[in-house]
Amino acid sequence: MLPLPRLAAENGGRFELRAKAEFRNPTGSVKDRTAWGIVSDALANGRLGDGEVLVDASSGNTGVAYAMLGARLGFPVRLYVPATAHPDRIDRIRALGAETILTDPAEGTDGAQREAEQWAARHPGRSVYGDQYGKPANPLAHYRSTGPEIWTQTGGRLSHFVAGVGTGGTLSGAARYLKERNPAIRVIAVEPDRPLHGLEGLKHLPSVRRPETYDARIVDQTIRVSTEEAELLRRHLGPLEGLLVGRSAAAALVASVRVGRATPGAFVVTVLPDAPPDDRPVAAGGP
């Protein structure tokens, strides 16, 4: 859990701001928790591990986590990824040995999800549909890990929990745990401010297929952030706090700052889902 005192100070300094650094997970994102929750559930129920292919849709990070687990545990992985996904994510998925099918960029993750569902339905005897947008194992992973860790690391003192909405698993699972411990904690969902945006991994829910893993009942407020706001803060955060993050993490921080400025005395906790992708060109034959 990272304190961000300088960011809070330049925004009035009357609130405490901390961020959970999920880029410290094995493949560098919060999606390691999601992928492991789905994979471990499938293994425990005997649906994976005898040659079955794990198939799912991903905008990048969950795909990397699936591919890592497939390589480590010995099961094949087939992923449907929008062609607009960052090339670094696609390169990493392929480097880990997963079969990668690029889908229509105009259809986004909704289109990738439809194609993954269709392929799994055509191959019922030899595939397991991960369904990160629908399986309860996704939010359950965060109920069992992310939520308890935040509660313990803050000594239960947080007043607001802020998280971006992609599948909704992180927000819904962690928030459910936190609300059970203290119903007064306010839960803030962060979305892009428009359908076409540059906040990779986040969904503008009014314009897309709503994930079943998103529990709107637990959300007290939704804050929408522009790509431009997130990018400005992302660039500012490096020299200010010595922290490099991606745009979705910066969007969560933009929303957190808004909450803190409007609520003197608040103890705001957010999630930094990943670090920025590597924009260096990949050389043939190795790094």
Q: Which residues are catalytic?
A: 31, 248
Any residues with CB less than 8 A from the CB of 227 and at least 6 apart, and which?
192, 197, 198, 199, 247
Which residues, listed in sequence order, are joined to residue 223 by a DSSP beta bridge?
Answer: 190
Residue from 59, 229, 248 nearest 165 by CA: 248
Q: Cβ of 88: how many Cβ atoms within 10 Å? A: 16
Residue from 62, 90, 65, 82 nearest 213 by CA: 62
> Would you tell me the crossing angle of helices 169-181 and 137-144 to the nearest 10 degrees?
40
**In angstroms, rounded to a whole number, what is the distance separating the alpha carbons of residues 109 and 168?**
14
Tell me how far CA of residue 25 lies from CA of 35, 152, 166, 185, in angstroms: 12, 18, 18, 26
**In angstroms, rounded to a whole number, what is the distance separating the alpha carbons of residues 192 and 224?**
5
**Alpha-helix runs per DSSP H in the chain:** 5-9, 31-44, 61-73, 87-95, 108-122, 137-144, 146-153, 169-181, 227-241, 247-262
Tell me how far CA of residue 231 lies from CA of 98, 102, 155, in angstroms: 31, 26, 32
Q: Are 62 and 35 in contact (CB under 8 A)?
A: yes
Q: What DSSP string runs through 100-137?
A: EEEE-GGGHHHHHHHHHHHHHHH-TTTEEE--TTT-TH
